[in-house]
Amino acid sequence: MNVLFFYASIVALLVIFFITVMKKKFTVRHMVLMLGYGLYNLIFELIFGEILGLYYYIEKDRYIPKPLC
Protein backbone atom coordinates (compact mmCIF):
# COMPACT_ATOMS: atom_id res chain seq x y z
CA MET A 1 0.00 0.00 0.00
CA ASN A 2 2.86 2.40 0.79
CA VAL A 3 4.49 1.76 -2.57
CA LEU A 4 1.19 2.35 -4.36
CA PHE A 5 0.71 5.65 -2.50
CA PHE A 6 4.27 6.71 -3.35
CA TYR A 7 3.92 6.09 -7.08
CA ALA A 8 0.38 7.49 -7.19
CA SER A 9 1.66 10.70 -5.57
CA ILE A 10 4.40 11.01 -8.18
CA VAL A 11 1.95 10.47 -11.03
CA ALA A 12 -0.50 12.99 -9.55
CA LEU A 13 2.21 15.62 -9.19
CA LEU A 14 3.40 15.05 -12.75
CA VAL A 15 -0.16 15.40 -14.06
CA ILE A 16 -0.64 18.64 -12.13
CA PHE A 17 2.73 19.91 -13.40
CA PHE A 18 1.89 19.16 -17.04
CA ILE A 19 -1.58 20.73 -16.75
CA THR A 20 0.01 23.86 -15.28
CA VAL A 21 2.66 23.97 -18.02
CA MET A 22 0.02 23.66 -20.73
CA LYS A 23 -2.17 26.42 -19.27
CA LYS A 24 0.55 28.98 -18.56
CA LYS A 25 3.44 30.22 -20.62
CA PHE A 26 6.59 28.38 -19.56
CA THR A 27 9.65 30.62 -19.94
CA VAL A 28 13.36 30.39 -19.24
CA ARG A 29 12.75 32.38 -16.04
CA HIS A 30 10.51 29.62 -14.74
CA MET A 31 13.12 27.01 -15.65
CA VAL A 32 15.87 28.91 -13.80
CA LEU A 33 13.66 29.30 -10.73
CA MET A 34 12.83 25.58 -10.69
CA LEU A 35 16.48 24.56 -11.08
CA GLY A 36 17.54 27.05 -8.41
CA TYR A 37 14.93 25.79 -5.98
CA GLY A 38 15.93 22.18 -6.64
CA LEU A 39 19.60 23.02 -6.13
CA TYR A 40 18.79 24.84 -2.89
CA ASN A 41 16.90 21.80 -1.57
CA LEU A 42 19.71 19.45 -2.60
CA ILE A 43 22.35 21.55 -0.83
CA PHE A 44 20.13 21.95 2.26
CA GLU A 45 19.59 18.18 2.43
CA LEU A 46 23.29 17.50 1.91
CA ILE A 47 24.50 19.91 4.58
CA PHE A 48 21.93 19.18 7.28
CA GLY A 49 21.33 15.52 6.52
CA GLU A 50 24.64 14.03 5.49
CA ILE A 51 27.28 16.39 6.86
CA LEU A 52 25.70 17.47 10.16
CA GLY A 53 23.60 14.32 10.62
CA LEU A 54 20.51 16.22 11.78
CA TYR A 55 18.00 14.26 9.71
CA TYR A 56 16.98 10.73 10.50
CA TYR A 57 14.37 8.44 9.10
CA ILE A 58 11.72 7.64 11.65
CA GLU A 59 11.64 4.14 13.01
CA LYS A 60 8.34 3.85 14.80
CA ASP A 61 9.54 1.83 17.78
CA ARG A 62 12.61 3.96 18.37
CA TYR A 63 11.66 7.63 17.85
CA ILE A 64 7.93 8.01 18.45
CA PRO A 65 7.26 8.15 22.20
CA LYS A 66 4.79 5.66 23.55
CA PRO A 67 1.70 7.01 25.37
CA LEU A 68 2.01 7.32 29.14
CA CYS A 69 -1.32 5.58 29.81
pLDDT at 60 over 60: no
Put simply, whether the predicted model's pTM sits higher than 0.95 gets the answer: no
Mean pLDDT throughout 24-52? 86
User: What is the Cα–Cα distance from 14 to 12, expressed in whole angstroms?
Assistant: 5
User: What is the Cα–Cα distance from 24 to 67, expressed in whole angstroms?
Assistant: 49
Mean pLDDT throughout 57-69? 59
**Residue 10 binned pLDDT confidence (cut-offs 50, 70, 90):** very high
User: What is the Cα–Cα distance from 9 to 25, expressed in whole angstroms?
Assistant: 25
Three-state secondary-structure class, residue 55: coil
Three-state secondary-structure class, residue 64: coil
